[in-house]
Amino acid sequence: MELLNKPEQIVFQRPRALSPVRTHYCPGCNHGIIHRLIAEVIDELGVREKTIGVFPVGCSVFGYDYFEIDATEAAHGRAPAVATGIKRLQPDKVVFTYQGDGDLAAIGTAEIIHAAARGENITTIFVNNAIYGMTGGQMAPTTLVGQKTTSCQAGRDPTKMGNPLKVSELLSAIDGAAYVARVAVNTPANVARAKNAIKRAIKVQQAGLGFSLVEVLSACPVGWGLRPREALAWVTEHMIPTYPLGEFKTKEEVKVIQA
């Protein structure tokens, strides 16, 4: 009788920087995955005790309850300005903003552009789910053409409502932006790449190389009216063609920094 007795090991568990509490997010919401990746990166880089998070107005308004770090709220769209205030006073800290598409791509366009323009050494995690989740599913600047939302019920009409805003491409044009990447978390492979991008961005900040942003395509099952599994597929079929994944800006000095 062959007997292989190996003690059981934990090969996956909740990261230390993620609080052991239930989240208020909808079933299947990708915020949970993204939060976890950030927490894993914080743990792996050993920066939990010097990380300060800035959370937006949106579904993730209570994000600070889910991380074991110092954190603050910010008025809608103004997280990059709040983060600037924190980072300028405490340059040794790791400062990140976590923003949705209303927060960053609508009301907060000035703040994100100018934080990038000034080359602020902060990292922005931009969660793009093509909709306004918290307020019940209205059109966002990132809503796709033809996509139906509660405030464009016949589908987004570009002649009246414009075309979706491509934030990563837009910010890449700014000199102060050192690292800009777009990722998704709809498949395990994409989740792994997303984590690498986030890690790289934080390392860019630590090296003082300028502004970094990771745009994460994210499923919103309730907003889109899809089951979570279908919502992940929708990211593949509809979002990625409009918002291609990749690294849009990697300054020369950033190239040596690997995740």
Partner 1 sequence: MFVTGKILAGVLPKEVEHKMARIVVDEDRCKGCEICVSVCPKRVIELADHFNRQGYRPARMVKARAVVPALVGGGMAEESAAAAKSRSENECNGCTLCARMCPDVAITVYR
Partner 2 sequence: MKDRVLMKGNEAIGEGAIRGGCQAYFGYPITPQTELLEYMSRRMPELGRVFVQAESEIAAINMCFGAAASGARVMTSSSGPGISLKQEGISYTAGAQLPCVIVNVMRGGPGLGNVAPAQADYFQATKGGGHGDYRLLVLAPNSVQEAMDLTSLAFDLADKYRNPVMVLADGLIGQIMEPVELHAWKPQKYDKPWALTGAKDREKNIIKSIYLQPEKLAAHNEELQAKYAEMRSSEIRFTCTQTEDAEVLLVAYGTASRVCQSVVKMARNKGFKVGLLRPISLYPFPYEPINDLARKVKAVVAVEFSSGQMIEDVRLGVNGLAPVHLVSRMGGIALPPDEVFAQVEEIAALGAKTPSQLAEEASTWNS
Site residues, partner 2 (CB under 8 A): 48-52, 54, 61, 64-65, 67-75, 78, 81-90, 93, 110-111, 113-114, 118
Tell the smallest beta-carbon distance from residue 236 to partner 2 (Å): 35
- 151: Cβ contacts below 8 Å, ≥ 6 apart: 138, 139
- According to DSSP, the residues that pair with 179 across neighbouring strands are 212, 250
Q: Please pick, from the candidates 17, 31, 80, 116, the single residue that binds partner 1 as defined by CB under 8 A.
A: 31
Count CA within 13 A, CB hemisphere, residue 258. 0
Q: Which is nearer to partner 2, 50 or 238 (CB)?
A: 50
16 binds partner 1 (CB under 8 A): no
Residue 45, exposed/middle/buried by CB under 10 A (0-12, 13-18, 19+)? middle
- 17: Cβ contacts below 8 Å, ≥ 6 apart: 38, 39, 40, 42, 43, 48, 51, 67, 68, 69
Nearest-CA neighbor of 107 among 71, 140, 137, 153? 140
Q: Please pick, from the candidates 18, 104, 177, 216, the single residue that binds partner 1 as defined by CB under 8 A.
A: 18
> With CB cut-offs between 5 and 8 Å by kind, which of partner 1, partner 2, none does residue 229 bind?
partner 1
Site for partner 1 in 189-248 (CB under 8 A): 191-192, 221, 227-229, 232
> With CB cut-offs between 5 and 8 Å by kind, which of partner 1, partner 2, none does residue 6 bind?
partner 1
> With CB cut-offs between 5 and 8 Å by kind, which of partner 2, partner 1, none does residue 3 bind?
partner 1
- According to DSSP, the residues that pair with 213 across neighbouring strands are 124, 180
The alpha-carbon radius of gyration of the chain (Å, integer) is: 18
Of 14-22, 54-62, 76-84, 208-216: span binding partner 1 (CB under 8 A): 14-22
Nearest-CA neighbor of 164 among 176, 152, 175, 179? 152
Number of shown-chain residues binding partner 1 (CB under 8 A): 35
Window 171-190: contact mask with partner 1 (x via CB under 8 A): -----------------x--
Binding site for partner 1 (CB under 8 A): 1-6, 8-15, 18, 22-23, 25-33, 36, 188, 191-192, 221, 227-229, 232
